[in-house]
Structure 1
């Protein structure tokens, strides 16, 4: 066995789906699986009872919660997740850990030793209207390895869809998508969307010429950009059936629509647009919240 896949669990429905997905990923990679649950000791805010004279007692309120009981609940939650993982992939070596601390901090630390971290899109807390929880979004931005965010509903058919923008930051996502498609024996759709606003504009050869592109030139350049981004990968992964799909349209909307029929969406953390200081681009953020399938965001190791 080599490598490690880490899955964060909290008892939510998307967490259960993440466990099954992580177990299958570990089996396909020949890796071990570590089930991790992080928890924070609750802070009581119950008002103390007033004294007979009517005054409230000074000092912190007493904690009427059993620490042993909380840990026992956490261990039970993890044991259930381990059982689910072993049922999904009986031949995978599964370990587990119950770690005091905030889930974001704990899982980010776990990502240092992992080749992949898998989490549910939303946990047991947060707001019902959000499709991706704060833990998932933060981990995608700060994790030290690729992060896969899983929703409650899974599908095993359909292609792996790769969002390509031709940037150097997106190169690790191309590697990840081809390797994943090969392991899953799934077709790969290499998807590139462009508009006249995000397409690179070459300078005119003649300074006196009108700064314009001949009809069809931008589309040809964008198709060439996609082919260049995939160069060499088809030879390395000859069993992967690849479809090139170049669309004239807004990237976020086009990829969200493509996710309806996909089993996995793969994107880089940041593309060729946006601000250099941002750890997570607008496209990857939009997919985390609105994609109809699991999303893997690949930023590589830093």
Structure 2
């Protein structure tokens, strides 16, 4: 079954860019596109939609998704597109949609202030709860830019290595785009490497670098031979390393796991930083329970 690409639309420019990106992604996958609007979105986004009249409500429910669908059809004329308006808040609607989506795509806009906080909270919450990969479209991806302009996909390989789902997702995304997959593992130099005091002497920097290289090799050992793959062990804090690396990337892919006894995914500091500061779209791929 070819599950759809689902994108949340709210009328903002950020969500329209996400719809553009989703149309390109659906075309790459040969998948249908589903545009979903939660008609109570303005409860989360009053800084974006300050008016609260019946006329504006009709625009939200009847026009926004139609306009987004028209824009997507102009971009990919033969695409199968479905639209849905649901009279609920965005988080429960999008979590529900994730159950029957191959990928869920949301927009994020660097506006600052309360508006950015509210829109960002929806993206972070959905990324942490959805059981399908979630792509948050960040950065300067304007409507005219295709989602594979740079031919680079970045995969972050963390302390516990990337999940098998995230690795597979990144490999497939790179292949669809004809892109290089750049797998990155950050490592840190020991804080007391230069001291001669025996209490502070730990493993030398080269050992940590070697371990990072070994972790990359282990994570990507089953990558298909035909994939253009670059593996890099980079010194520095993981958050900054990934933010620097993805400056000219089409997509940053990060794995997320579920913790025993907790509902939802564990979005650590690195993933949180990427979702709020990345210069390119970020895919959060759950380790469980499902990968389409």
For structure 2, the residue ranges without an aligned partner over 5 or more in a row are 44-51, 191-199
Q: CA deviation at 1:124?
A: 9.5
How does the TM-score come out when normalised to structure 1?
0.78
- Of structures 1 and 2, the larger Rg is shown by 1
Cross-structure match for 2:33: 33
CA contact (8 A) 1:15 1:123 kept: no
Q: Is 1:262 the counterpart of 2:249 in the alignment?
A: yes
Give the 3-state SS of the residue equivalent to 2:280 in structure 1.
Answer: coil
Equivalence map 1:16-95=2 (5 Å): 16-40=16-40, 65-66=53-54, 70-95=57-82
Cross-structure match for 1:183: 176
Give the 3-state SS of the residue equivalent to 2:100 in structure 1.
Answer: coil
Q: 1:160 to 1:141 in 2, by over 3 A?
A: same
How does the TM-score come out when normalised to structure 2?
0.81
Q: 1:214 to 1:300 in 2, by over 3 A?
A: closer
For structure 1, the residue ranges without an aligned partner over 5 or more in a row are 44-63, 198-209
Q: 2-side partners of 1:276 and 1:290: how far apart? A: 29
Which of these residues, 195, 203, 220, is aligned with residue 213 of structure 1? 203
Q: 2-side partners of 1:124 and 1:33: how far apart? A: 27
CA contact (8 A) 2:189 2:205 kept: no
Q: 1:292 to 1:42 in 2, by over 3 A?
A: closer
Which of these residues, 159, 167, 177, is aligned with residue 174 of structure 1? 167
Q: Deviations over 1:176-211 (max 9, x none)?
A: 1000000011111111101257xxxxxxxxxxxx98
Cross-structure match for 2:229: 242
Cross-structure match for 1:112: 99
Q: Aligned residue pairs: how many?
A: 265
Q: 1:111 to 1:194 in 2, by over 3 A?
A: same
Equivalence map 1:74-153=2 (5 Å): 74-122=61-109, 127-128=114-115, 130=117, 133-151=120-138, 153=140
Which of these residues, 229, 241, 251, is aligned with residue 238 of structure 2? 251
Q: 1:217 to 1:279 in 2, by over 3 A?
A: closer
Q: 1:258 to 1:301 in 2, by over 3 A?
A: same
Give the 3-state SS of the residue equivalent to 2:140 in structure 1.
Answer: coil
Q: Is 1:228 the counterpart of 2:215 in the alignment?
A: no
Q: 1-side partners of 2:223 and 2:164: how far apart? A: 11
Q: CA deviation at 1:31?
A: 0.9
Please provide the CA RMSD for this pair: 3.1
Larger deviation: 276-285 or 261-270?
A: 276-285
CA contact (8 A) 1:108 1:143 kept: yes
Give the 3-state SS of the residue equivalent to 2:2 in structure 1.
Answer: coil
Q: 1:21 to 1:215 in 2, by over 3 A?
A: closer
Q: 1:265 to 1:3 in 2, by over 3 A?
A: same
Cross-structure match for 2:15: 15
Give the 3-state SS of the residue equivalent to 2:155 in structure 1.
Answer: strand
